[in-house]
Amino acid sequence: MEQKTHWESVYTTKAPDQVSWYTPHLETSLALIDRLALGPNAAILDVGSGESTLVDDLLERGYKDISLLDLSDEAQRVTRERLGPSASKVHWLTDNVCNIPLSSARYDLWHDRAVFHFLTHPQQQAAYVLQASKTLKPQGHIIIGVFGPQGPTRCSGLNVVRYDASSLQSTFADHFRLLDSQIVSHTTASGSDQQFIYAVLRKLQ
């Protein structure tokens, strides 16, 4: 099934709190963002934003330049509706992260919770890393959350790639340096536990 069709189906058939990756607030991501101590004018891109409440919490923290990128029109419709008037404060992008034309050196932070592990081919992974490098400002950061070494091998009916700190650093090494990583357990809507690894990487130049 073509990627966009797959994700439109997921978001039109399941409520936001029924998908396996649901959590009321992205606490780990928010803690890592807080540690970066970005100013309120920092440009933030949330890749695979889906119906996540990260944007709500970033707006609450006073960030003024937030872009949401997702393949699914339905996911973005739900998020817009939830945000109400605040939706006008957000930049909305609907496309494949590897293909969408993004402005060079536009963002201070690239955030991705649970997109990168769906890229199972080396060509896709390389395109993603290059896209992040091009669109981040010098010394910009990536915060990424993907399935860890003991995580699932499939999610939402699709194959995934599992990572540890070493393999993440190796995959991003041409353009980024790994600063920190941590293993986190996520409890799904059905009550099972999934192992994630979260990493912070900084652009080399």
CB 142 within 8 A of CB 198: no
Domain residues for the domain of 45 are 3-12+22-147+159-203
Residue 154 lies in a domain: no
Cross-sheet strand order for the sheet of 176-187: 90-94, 65-70, 43-47, 107-113, 136-147, 193-203, 176-187
pLDDT per residue over 154-168, tens digit each? Answer: 998 899 999 999 999
Q: Along the 205 residues of the chain, how does pLDDT read in single tens digits?
A: 488 898 888 888 888 887 877 788 999 999 999 999 999 999 999 999 999 999 999 999 999 999 999 999 999 999 999 999 999 999 999 999 999 999 999 999 999 999 999 999 999 999 999 999 999 999 999 999 999 999 999 998 899 999 999 999 999 999 999 999 999 999 987 888 999 999 999 999 7
Given this model, what pLDDT does residue 1 score?
46
176 domain-assigned: yes
Residue 134 lies in a domain: yes
Residue 112 belongs to domain with CATH number: 3.40.50.150
Residue 152 lies in a domain: no
CB 84 within 8 A of CB 55: no
Compute and round to an integer the Cα radius of gyration of the chain: 16
Q: How many domains does the chain have?
A: 1
| β-pairing verdict for 193-203 and 65-70 | unpaired
Q: With respect to residue 17, please indicate whether it lies within any of the assigned structural domains.
A: no
| Cα separation, 205 vs 186, whole angstroms | 33
- 168 within domain boundaries: yes
Q: What is the pLDDT of residue 191?
A: 82
**Is 50 contained in some domain?**
yes
